[in-house]
Structure 1
Amino acid sequence: MDLQTFRNRQQTVSLDGLIDDSLTLAYTDVGEGEPLLLLHGIPTWSYLFHEIIDPLAEHYRVIAIDMAGYGYSDRRDRFDRSIEFQADVVERFLAQLNIPSAHFIAHDIGGGVALILADRSPETVRSMVLSNSVAYDSWPIDEMLELGHPRNAKMSPEDIKQLLEESFQVGLSRPERLTDEFREGITGPYLDREGIVSMVRNASSLNTNHTTRLTERLNQMPQPTLLLWGVDDNWQPISTAEKLVKDIPNAQLHAVKNCSHWVPQDAPEEFVDSTLDFLSKATSNTTND
């Protein structure tokens, strides 16, 4: 799906009570049934999931948000962008849509948001699919630490294109998956001045303390959890998944071969198939209980 088609079906919602003004969130909401909430990472936005949304929506209600400061959500200098704040935003967003609980499909820092909510609001998180997620002290990576320096707010659109192109080369293992459509889709929100500044603010907000404090609490998270991990990832290596599968009681690992960081783009069919199989079993077990 190209950028414009994806944008045309996005909706917006205004959330009050988070900052001193309404905060606008952009999101996709398609399909019917139990809700799946898709959370992207940095430096992407919900377009990361553009190839998996519709296949998942054949079975579930799929909601993919642009987190605050990302994509086409609010990008003003009016709020924190940390994963703790993003968790607040998700809670308020779900309440606004009258969704008491959802299955979380979360990538990169989106996985950190899911873990925070699984800990503090376990009734909200029915299950988790964590894909190459941040956890423990695995982040922020060097590239994001460098990007977060305030001086980078003066970067040009060409600088951003170059930065993202270098990320694409590392974040995908399969050359054929690096399409012009994907390039244009991911870079789209970040080529104007507001988008460039927002990306830098997003990078500056990354704080490993927000996941290290959860380390001793992972064994208290009862949610069925699938660790859906690209094995070639040098940013969030498979060793993190191998540790998580030991620490989260109801976790299982599905390692995706010949796949790097951006699993939904690198291996969309395997991502969908593994997720649907996991959710089918997770919901069946919940019903039986």
Structure 2
Amino acid sequence: MVQNEMSVADFAGRQKHIELDGIVDIPVDVAYTDIGQGQPIILLHGIPTWSYLYNNVIDAFAKEYRVIAPDFLGHGNSDQRDLFDRSIEVQAKMVLRLMKALNLEKAHIIGHDTGGGVSLILAIKHPEVVDKLVLSNIVTYDSWPIDDMLALGNPEWIKKPVSEIADFLLEGYEMGLSNPEQLTETFKEGIRAPYLTEKGKISLIRNASSLNTNHTTSLVSRHKEIGVQTLLLWGVDDPWQTIADGERLHTEIPNSTLIRLEKTSHWLQQDSPELYISNILQFLYE
């Protein structure tokens, strides 16, 4: 049941903005939520979403933790200019630079989809900044980009009207939910909002074109180096990032726990928010 949905206006209204350099060739604007107090948690979204994906769970985490949820470069309300790379390697640099700007030495990292790919990079290449790690239906191995994202990344899609992009996105959100009642009007409006302008449409296409399988296949031999406690929280109905990937990661990440969420698909934060919250909080308590 969806209980805590925020309107897109309310969610965007409490986001902060910061200009960061040292990530790409130009300073870039990063939008992020920063609420609550206590140990920091960083929530990392994927494509074709933005941090609004967490709108239904973020306040529950903020009751006990400081929750930081950035929009990746080119995503959401962060910089959408057609001037920089948006790969997961660059997004990892953005997270590190944001942490430095916020004086965060370490945080719990919670990643989903391409945000999970970013989380793997952080845990393997920058383990000093990761406290505990949560990976949910993440891009890994060579299971991505999926066909829809390969299509979206074609520059020819720039010729398509925004209305066609809106329909395309909606179809993907529908396919990634096991519980159709969770596809509320509030969610449909909020999750698509940043991409329903000409600038947002082009940015979304560039985000898709930046997806690079090599950035995760190059990490496979290093999964065993992840030393932090890791929760693999996986929606088993996911048609794209399947449970087989979660099971394989469980065999490769030494200090990992795999929890399968039944009747839950790819967008598990929206599909089963109560289970998502309770399992992560229990893991962080341990």
TM-score using structure 1 length: 0.96
Q: Answer whether contact 1:154 1:197 (CA < 8 A) is retained.
A: no
1:165 to 158, 167, 170: 170
Tell me the CA shift for residue 153 of structure 1.
1.7
Find the residue that maps to 2:144 and give its secondary structure.
coil
Partners of 1:126 and 1:177 in 2: CA distance: 31
Q: Which residue of 2 aligns with 1:284?
A: none
Superimposed CA distance per residue, residues 65-106 of structure 1 (whole angstroms, 9 cap, x where no aligned partner):
100000000011111000001011111111011101110111
Q: Which residue of 1 aligns with 2:59?
A: 54
2:61 corresponds to 1:86:
no
Q: Which residue of 2 aligns with 1:130?
A: 135
Q: Answer whether contact 1:24 1:73 (CA < 8 A) is retained.
A: yes
Partners of 1:93 and 1:141 in 2: CA distance: 29
Find the residue that maps to 1:99 and give its secondary structure.
coil
Q: Which residue of 1 aligns with 2:22?
A: 17
1:246 to 251, 262, 270: 251
Give the letter aligned to residue 135 of structure 1.
T
Superimposed CA distance per residue, residues 229-251 of structure 1 (whole angstroms, 9 cap, x where no aligned partner):
11100110000000000000011
2:160 corresponds to 1:155:
yes
Find the residue that maps to 1:93 and give its secondary structure.
helix
Give the letter aligned to residue 176 of structure 1.
E
1:145 to 105, 130, 150: 150
Q: Answer whether contact 1:19 1:78 (CA < 8 A) is retained.
A: no
Q: Runs of 4+ in structure 1 displaced over 3 angstroms?
A: none
Give the letter aligned to residue 217 of structure 2.
T
Q: Which residue of 2 aligns with 1:203?
A: 208
Unaligned runs of 5+ in 2: 1-5
Give the letter aligned to residue 223 of structure 2.
L
Identity, in percent, stands at 53
Q: Which residue of 2 aligns with 1:121?
A: 126
- Equivalent residue pairs, number: 281
Tell me the CA shift for residue 175 of structure 1.
1.2
Find the residue that maps to 2:127 and give its secondary structure.
coil
Superimposed CA distance per residue, residues 111-167 of structure 1 (whole angstroms, 9 cap, x where no aligned partner):
000100111110011111111001111111011011100111222121111101110
Superimposed CA distance per residue, residues 9-63 of structure 1 (whole angstroms, 9 cap, x where no aligned partner):
0000100122332110000000000000000000000000001100000110000
Q: Answer whether contact 1:109 1:134 (CA < 8 A) is retained.
A: yes
Give the letter aligned to residue 238 of structure 2.
D
Q: Answer whether contact 2:24 2:90 (CA < 8 A) is retained.
A: no
Q: Answer whether contact 1:27 1:65 (CA < 8 A) is retained.
A: yes
2:61 corresponds to 1:42:
no
Q: Which residue of 1 aligns with 2:3?
A: none
Q: Answer whether contact 1:15 1:23 (CA < 8 A) is retained.
A: yes
Q: Which residue of 2 aligns with 1:286?
A: none
Unaligned runs of 5+ in 1: 282-289
TM-score using structure 2 length: 0.97
2:126 corresponds to 1:108:
no
Partners of 2:159 and 2:57 in 1: CA distance: 34
Partners of 2:93 and 2:26 in 1: CA distance: 15
Find the residue that maps to 2:81 and give its secondary structure.
coil
Give the letter aligned to residue 280 of structure 1.
Y
2:268 corresponds to 1:263:
yes
Give the letter aligned to residue 33 of structure 1.
G
Find the residue that maps to 1:87 and give its secondary structure.
helix
Which 10-residue stretch deviates more, 267-276 or 145-154?
145-154
